[in-house]
Homo-oligomer: A and B are copies of this chain.
């Protein structure tokens, strides 16, 4: 693992002239209140809290630009902050500095149904956008579970349950407005669906985790709401049977809306937490999107594949409220898992492998977990070859933490050896930088560093994250 935040020196005090400047700029929206700083010093990851020295609640691109210019002059770190739902410590102020809180930039600037796009400020959350889209016949499909901010989702190249059909933030961000480290304002992309006009600057910033610039506007693609939806819960005799069903489904080209795997431990956790009564066995949650006849075809094919792998009958959730309850339970799975062990925190792994290697990856993960003696439910967006384990640890138990980190590293090594990646969707943050170094290789790391140096020569943007 990288240097633990515990080992880093505490940051020096903020320069008084900077504090003065930012107070003049933002008034009460610039604060060094310990409570507010503490609130911005943690996310959903297992890393120890690292509060910033101040928090700036910005309300416009101009304020972001002015703040970045000031912090640049003083070489003070700036850490963009959205919903705080990162699982990789993205928001921790490991080198001190100022949390740039974007939650007040929460206006939906434009919904353009004719071009199926929306322009939003970075603090708009995905649920907020989807509420605003009611009645347009369109939706924003990217769904990482948490009600994350769209700025944060762009920064981590987020995906989630629907990505198997609709793609990730990589495919669904059309254009960006970015404030660079020195306060310059960059606009990338156009409203056209495709372009060959120069370097793909949009994609360079999607997934850059706040290390190259701060988003002030995001233009996202919307999709037509499916004519019909159907969801089903399918129980399998073994993990392997469930995963093999997914592999065959994807290889058959069935455009499933979602397909989620949950092992028996995850289902147990969900039952306890969400008061459901699902059978505690390896399970797939399916959702199908399309016209009635398309749905019929998809369902027939998937049912046949599932039966060939020993599945019991599909339990259907046809009514919208049943479907909502199902996905709500799925989305609470992380908290359900954490809740299995009072006071624990979760180290969430995020392997993603080529679909043909999924069964091997999941089975080897299970074996590694069993050998470790730790508790770690397995669940994930298996249609994309992406699955998580939530390793439950007592954050005060150094020995257990070390075992968990060793297990996490082992799962990454398995994924990478199978042609996969250490992070399907959560990003690199604090904890996965050494894995990225291995995955990108020496030349890849050198290139990432030279891009970082070219865009943020003073290193003020979210230092200590992503770049190995």
Interfacial residues, chain A to chain B (CB-CB below 8 A): 112, 114-117, 156-159, 163, 167-168, 170-171, 180, 184-188, 190-201, 203-204, 206-208, 212, 223-224, 251-253, 291, 293-294, 296-297, 350, 352-357, 384-386, 415-416, 419-428, 432, 435-436, 439-441, 443-444, 446-448, 450-451, 453-455, 466-467
Contacts and interface: CB of A to CB of B under 8 A. Distances in A.
A294 B255 CA distance: 12
A201 B450 contact: no
B353 A420 contact: no
Contact of A291 (B208, B297, B426): B297
B163 A194 contact: yes
A208 B201 CA distance: 11
Contacts of A419: 115, 190-192
12 contacts: A180-B443, A186-B447, A192-B386, A192-B419, A193-B352, A193-B384, A195-B423, A199-B207, A199-B451, A201-B447, A294-B294, A451-B454
A167 B193 CA distance: 10
Contacts of A158: 196
Contacts of A385: 192-193
A185 B447 CA distance: 11
A352 B354 CA distance: 33
A118 to B, nearest CB: 13
A204 B200 contact: yes
6 tightest Cβ-Cβ pairs between the two chains A and B: A114-B356, A203-B203, A224-B253, A191-B419, A115-B354, A195-B421
Given A157-B195, A187-B443, A192-B353, 16 more contacts: A114-B355, A184-B446, A190-B420, A192-B420, A194-B386, A194-B425, A195-B424, A197-B422, A197-B439, A197-B440, A198-B439, A198-B444, A200-B206, A201-B447, A224-B252, A293-B296
A384 B158 CA distance: 25
A201 B114 contact: no
A384 B167 CA distance: 18
A464 to B, nearest CB: 14
Contacts of A198: 207, 428, 436, 439-440, 444, 448, 466-467
Nearest to A412: B197
A208 B204 contact: no
Contacts of A448: 198-199, 201
A168 B194 contact: yes
